[in-house]
Amino acid sequence: MTYNVDPELQQPIRDMMREFCPKEIEPLGLKHDREPDAFAHDIFKKLADKGLVGYVMPKEYGGQGRKKIEYATMIEELSYFDPPSSLLSAVSQLAVDPIMNFGTDEQKKKYIPKAATGELIPAFALTEPNAGSDAANQSTEFEDAGDHYVINGEKIFIMHGDVCDYAVTFGKLKGDEGDRPKVSAIIVPSDAEGFEGSTLKHKMGMKYATTGRIIYKNVKVPKENFLGPAGKGFKMAMMTLDGARVGIAAQSTGIAQRALDESIKYAKERVAFGAPIAKLQAIQWMIADMATKVEAARLLTYKAAQLQDKGESINLSASQAKLFASEAANFCVDRCMQIHSGYGYIGEFSIAEKLYRDQRVCEIYEGTSEVQRLVIANNMLRK
Ligand code: COS
């Protein structure tokens, strides 16, 4: 039985996901994983129809209005069955978050309800070729042209940037040539002339929650799309990422748990030297370490989600959860592969190979492990 911090809220979600995902999601995921990189519209629709895309978006804007602890549980379970599917849901949440927290009423009404139902696919466009970990180093420019802005620039590694209907785009006002540009944000519809989204090919894992490049060539955007206060975009982005990191922690926990469960199953079945390999201490120690890391990852994730629900700062706890859970998942997929050996390395025999590929990016996106350590150290040292 998986540990819950709030059984009344969490267990029904687990039961529902364990019924829904093996039938409706996992088989589609396995199929798409063997195909060339393309957004899984069929899975996205199934998730949206089930309310799992607008899961924490407010009810008044067409979402389910769930708490963050419920969201973490849902993402963990979805990721257990199919990691890329958990991204299909989480990316819409990531992109809508700044609109929810900093948008005008008109912007919220226009952009959130259709994202909640999956009718529109949003993207969060922060990263640039020269602004990855150093996210403040934005080059994309918004030029004031009277009643609209003209956007020029390039974004890369943008989840769903290739298929999005609109991109919450970060950049700087033209003319800001300071060492540290004052970042602003604007909502850019993808059908605007000069907006070019494309798919980045041959991704290692998470293949059908696609990653894109966006080029903005003289894209005209009405001023009503400007998001939040001018020059406050960096803080808006960082606050959004704090929340998103809890989602990646939940996703990592789901992957780690799956790797553990697959390892236990295989270790009991596989006979070597006259007995199941689960009898060997070498295997038992791997299982023990995996189980302990999974549980610690889960608890850190729930702690951060509960603090979010209380409206407290999660800058520290989100980074701790994301760092630990993603590295725990790395440990678990690696040991899962080792336990399965040849049968793990070849995808036709087990899920170990797919888990191994899907996991790796959890230590990279929404801030690398090194960035999480930086955030944690900053929190410790300024006390
Ligand atoms: N919430 C609110 N405000 C924040 C914040 C947060 N989580 N993090 C930083 N800020 C504010 C600071 O308070 C500071 O404000 P003042 O200038 O008013 O003092 C300002 O932002 C700059 O903060 P800081 O100096 O800590 O920022 P750095 O440039 O050193 O950035 C890192 C630090 C590396 C942590 C940041 O750039 C980062 O998280 N990078 C990774 C980006 C990322 O995750 N990308 C993933 C891809 S997007 S899907």
Ligand 1 pocket mutation pick from 101, 138, 170, 234 by most atoms within 8 angstroms of CB: 234
Of 116, 142, 158, the one marking the end of a domain is 116
Q: How many domains does the chain have?
A: 3
What's the CATH number where 193 sits? 2.40.110.10
Please indicate, yes or no, if residue 86 is contained in any of the structural domains: yes
Atom of ligand 1 nearest to the CA of 159: 49
Output the CA 88–ligand 1 centroid distance in Å.
25
Output the CA 235–ligand 1 centroid distance in Å.
7
Per residue in 142-173, pLDDT (tens digit) is: 999 999 999 999 999 999 999 999 999 999 99
Are 369 and 363 in contact by the 8 Å Cβ rule? The answer is yes
- Backbone φ and ψ for 185, nearest 5 degrees, come out as -140, 150
Output the CA 238–ligand 1 centroid distance in Å.
5
**Is there a single domain that holds both residue 243 and residue 353?**
yes
**Is there a single domain that holds both residue 244 and residue 362?**
yes
Domain span at residue 28 reads: 7-116
**Is there a single domain that holds both residue 240 and residue 342?**
yes
Please indicate, yes or no, if residue 206 is contained in any of the structural domains: yes
pLDDT at 70: 98
Ligand 1, pocket residues at CB < 6 Å:
124, 126-127, 133, 135-136, 234-235, 238-239, 241-242, 315, 365-367, 371, 374-375
Q: Which segments of the chain have a pLDDT < 50?
A: none
pLDDT at 181: 82
Q: Which residues contact 98 (CB under 8 A, 6 or more apart)?
A: 124, 168, 185, 227, 228, 236, 237, 240
Provide the annotated active-site residues: 366
Per residue in 230-249, pLDDT (tens digit) is: 999 999 999 999 999 999 99
Of 116, 143, 168, the one marking the end of a domain is 116
Please indicate, yes or no, if residue 27 is contained in any of the structural domains: yes
Please indicate, yes or no, if residue 2 is contained in any of the structural domains: no
pLDDT at 1: 86
pLDDT at 383: 64
pLDDT at 179: 74
Which amino acid residue places its CA nearest to atom 12 of ligand 1? 235
Ligand 1 pocket mutation pick from 87, 206, 235 by most atoms within 8 angstroms of CB: 235
Atom of ligand 1 nearest to the CA of 375: 35
Output the CA 134–ligand 1 centroid distance in Å.
9
